[in-house]
Chain A
Amino acid sequence: MAAIELRGLTKVYPGGVKALDALDLAIPDGEFFALLGPSGCGKTTLLRTIAGLETATGGAVVIGDRDVTGLQPGARDVAMVFQDYALFPHMDVTDNIAYPLRIKKVAKAARHEKAAEVGARLGLDHLMDRRPGQLSGGQQQRVALARVMATQAQAYLFDEPLSNLDARLRLEARTFLKKLQRELGVTTVFVTHDQAEALAMADRMAVMEAGHIRQIGTPSEVFQRPANTFVASFIGSTPMNLLDGVARGDTLEVAGCKIRVPVSAEGRVPDGTAIVYGVRPEYMTYSAEPADGAFGGKVAIVENLGASHLVTLDVGDVIVQAVVPEGSEPAVGDDGYALPRRDRALVYRDGELV
């Protein structure tokens, strides 16, 4: 078990795609770290470069106190779960789990014992003689996890291991994985493009865009205070309202409405600066009555989110969204007012959080 440190890591693929751009990242020992970002931003590349499956074009990968940048994957002492699990179809579950031990020349009896022990822990005891082709997706995923656990690696790398599971299994696996990582205490880097997964499981997370890390923090930091408009628009089950505006003394002029400066930006936006005002639909109070400092407009769409509704207001020529609790949703065409919570709204200047 060891910390992972990346220094100025750069990866340029043949053909000139710069998948990682001078990336710095430090993951302390034992942390569950999630990598999140849109498709093609370089998450898999980052993981594979840590594992040594891709050679870095520049920079260094340090695991524990060893610089492993020039080492072969097998010498780095990391274990990885692939998106397709990569179980060997011609070996039974026991042999699959024990495979890394076999390569390390552990005696047959000892490695089978270890496989049985790890398998039992993951609830695979009655499946040990089966081939991967005779297992369900969730069972295969657990075998892949067991194979990783059977080796005492310095770090675990997971590339979207849950994406092949159906929604229900995914929720179960999420809880299970998190608990397992807690118990083992092995540094884990987890790639996902499901933000709910990252928010739910990670100790800390990084949001990536085009080979850069745009924000690192705990899930609640990232959710509540996105460091820039990219992260703000990327994170959240309903997209954050991001509205252009101008500072006017101690109010902001946004979409033709006068809004009070949020707590976090008080006294930090000089008169006349162009800003972007951000507030999550969840942090809006909707009412049918006009209110001071609220966005007023006509209800354009009402979407059912289950226990609540997402109301879209046409405010001038922009749209503002607010989440309304069940039972009090307006009808399309009504006049409506959405009052942002001052302690939750954010102000961005030049794309960065003020």
Chain B
Amino acid sequence: MAQAISPPPEVVREDGPARGDSTDAAGLGRVRAAVFVAPALLLIAVFLVFPALWVLYLGLTNYRLTGVAAAEPQFVGLDNFIAAVTTPAFWNSTWLTVEFVLGSAVIGQAVLGFTIAWLMRDRRGTLKRAVEGLVILAWILPSAIVAFLWVALLDRDSGTLNAMLGIPGFAWLLDHPMLSIIIFNVWRGTAFSMMLYGAALGNVPPSHLESARLAGASSWQQLRDVVFPHIRGHILTNLLLISLWTFNDFGPFLLTAGGPDGRSEVLAVHVYKVALQAGELGHGAAVSTVILLINLVVAVFYLRLLRSKK
């Protein structure tokens, strides 16, 4: 017995100094650990960090897609930023983006996704699989196909929707561009919220719901007193993600191209128009930087909420 116990301390002593240098759990040492993460860091640097810094730089120049300024961009200081925030089109786009985010993400996707998850929580079998399958299908289809489907659905003269409603000639995308892209984005993105809430609801202890039911709580009271407090973190994480995704979503361009008259020109489309259609890369970069700042504010807002009242 005594022999069996004594060796381990020696082993520890032998290993001690070698491991002492490296503070990592795997005992690789700094150099070898760095080699392992280098490829990933390189990719991140080339494709994420560098472009981001490049955009910051471009925002300070009069760089253009074509012409003299393309060959020899000049440093113009904060001119682009001032121009960006003093353009009425920018504020129009910002307001439309807020509408788009609130309407399609916060209200549309989150509420619809939660409702479907809540209704399907106790169901098994065909109905559940059919509903989930359809919702997820809208999420996984490639954008080009989805855009084509929706154009075909909403087309003024030969669209499926008008044929079904019996109102040929009704121009959805011209008369209600924001409504169209909001509904489009709800349809497109609800799957994520539905799946996230579905998983979250699985974690609400059944006994808590039953306890509330025994006390006589209505469905709404059960949601308020048991379900929402339990999945608060999931709700905020979900809202954070879908708000940011929707904020930066370029999908609306495929349906309305920002038109008519900029009435559906959300910020992502605005940047595209300024930078690539008008060719003012410097101006576009400045707008992008402002969008990045707005995203940061939104993210910090949600993260604050998440951390408060834990």
A residues near B (Cβ < 8 Å) are 51-53, 72-75, 78-80, 82-84, 86, 88-90, 99-100, 103-104, 151
Check A82/B216 contact, CB under 8 A, given A88-B225, A88-B229, A103-B221: no
Check A74/B207 contact, CB under 8 A, given A88-B225, A90-B229, A99-B225: no
Q: Is the CB of A53 within 8 A of B214?
A: yes
A72 contact set on B, CB distance < 8 A: 213
Main DSSP-derived SS at the A contact region: loop
**Residue in B208, B213, B216, B221 whose CB lies within 8 Å of A88:** B208
Q: Does B211 count as interface, using CB distance less than 8 angstroms?
A: yes
Assembled-state Cα–Cα distance A89/B226 (Å): 9
B216 contact set on A, CB distance < 8 A: 73-75, 100, 103-104
Q: Is the CB of A80 within 8 A of B217?
A: no
B230 contact set on A, CB distance < 8 A: 89-90
Main DSSP-derived SS at the B contact region: helix
User: Which of chain B's residues has its CB closest to A80's CB?
Assistant: B214
Check A74/B226 contact, CB under 8 A, given A84-B205, A86-B205, A88-B208: no
| Contacts of B197-212 to chain A: CB distance below 8 A | 205, 207-208, 210-212
A83 contact set on B, CB distance < 8 A: 207
**Residue in A82, A100, A104 whose CB lies within 8 Å of B210:** A82
Check A73/B210 contact, CB under 8 A, given A88-B229, A103-B217: yes
Q: Is the CB of B215 within 8 A of A151?
A: yes
Q: Sorted from nearest, which 8 A-B pairs have the closest CB atoms?
A: A74-B216, A100-B215, A86-B207, A86-B211, A90-B229, A82-B207, A103-B215, A73-B213
Assembled-state Cα–Cα distance A89/B207 (Å): 13
Check A51/B226 contact, CB under 8 A, given A84-B207, A103-B221: no
User: Which of chain B's residues has its CB closest to A95's CB?
Assistant: B225
- B212 → chain A closest CB, angstroms: 8
B210 contact set on A, CB distance < 8 A: 51, 53, 73, 80, 82, 86
Assembled-state Cα–Cα distance A151/B216 (Å): 12
Assembled-state Cα–Cα distance A86/B230 (Å): 12
Q: Is the CB of B214 within 8 A of A73?
A: yes
| Contacts of B221-261 to chain A: CB distance below 8 A | 221, 225-226, 229-230
Assembled-state Cα–Cα distance A103/B217 (Å): 6
**Known contacts A80-B214, A86-B211, A104-B215, then 7 further A-B pairs from the complex at CB < 8 Å, ordered by chain A residue:** A74-B214, A74-B215, A75-B216, A78-B214, A80-B210, A90-B229, A99-B225
